[in-house]
Amino acid sequence: MFSFFANPARFMVLSRWLAPLLGAAAAVCLVLGLYLAAMAPVDYQQGETVRIMFVHVPAAWMGLFCYMCLAGASFVGLVFRHSLADVAARAAAPMGATFTALALVTGSLWGRPMWGTWWAWGDARLTSEFILFVFYLGYMALHMAIDDEARSARAAAILAMVGVVNLPVVHFSVEWWNSLHQGASVLRKGGPAMPKVYLIPLLLMTLGYTTLFGSLWLVQIRAAVWKKRANALTRAQAEA
Amino acid sequence: MSDLIHVFAGRYAAYILPAWGLSILALAWMTASAVLTAHRWRKAAQARDALSDGDPPL
Beta carbons of B19 and A110 less than 8 Å apart: yes
CA dihedral A219, A223, A60, A97 (to 10 degrees): -170
How much is the pLDDT for A45?
80
H or E segment at A229? helix A196-239
Nearest residue, CB atoms, A220 vs list B6, B34, B57: B34
**Which DSSP state fits B49?**
H
Q: How many CB atoms lie within 10 A of CB A186?
A: 15
CB pairs A-B closer than 8 Å: 121
Instruction: Number of helices (H) and strands (E) in chain A: give both, helices first.
Output: 8, 0
The alpha carbons of chain A give a radius of gyration, in whole angstroms, of 20
Least confident stretch, A38-42, A54-58, A236-240: A236-240
CA distances B43 to A94, A222, A223, A224, Å, are 23, 12, 10, 13
**Do A232 and B18 lie within an 8 Å CB cutoff?**
no
3-class SS string, A132-183: HHHHHHHHHHHHHHCCCHHHHHHHHHHHHHHHCCHHHHHHHHHHHCCCCCCC
- In chain B, which residues have their Cβ closer than 8 Å to the Cβ of A237? 48, 51-52
> A141 burial class (0-12, 13-18, 19+ CB within 10 angstroms)?
exposed
* Residues A104 and A127 sit within 8 Å (Cβ to Cβ): no
Mean pLDDT (chain A) is 90
ipTM confidence: 0.88
3 state SS of B35 = helix
For A52, nearest residue in chain B (alpha carbons): B16
Contact between A92 and A69 under an 8 Å Cβ cutoff? The reply is: yes
Q: With an 8 Å Cβ cutoff, are A227 and B4 in contact? A: no
pLDDT of B5-34, one tens digit each?
A: 556 667 889 999 999 999 999 999 999 999
B41 CB within 8 Å of a chain A CB:
yes
pLDDT band at A4 (very low <50, low <70, confident <90, very high): low
Give the total residue count for chain B.
58
Q: What's the pLDDT tens digit per position in A101-138? A: 999 999 999 999 998 899 988 889 999 999 999 999 99
Instruction: Indicate the SS3 state at residue A47.
Output: strand
Comparing CA positions, the residue from A176, A170, A30 lying closest to residue A100 is A170
When pLDDT is cut at 50, 70 and 90, the band that residue B53 belongs to is low
Q: Does the pTM exceed 0.95? A: no
Alpha carbon of B38: minimum distance to chain A alpha carbons (Å): 4
Closest chain A CA to residue B51: A237
Is B36 at the interface with chain A, CB within 8 A?
A: no
| Sequence-ordered list of residues with C-beta below 8 angstroms from that of A209, at least 6 positions apart, any chain | A26, A30, A58, A59, A61, A62, A99, B27
Interface test with A, best of B4, B6, B41 (most A CBs within 10 A): B41
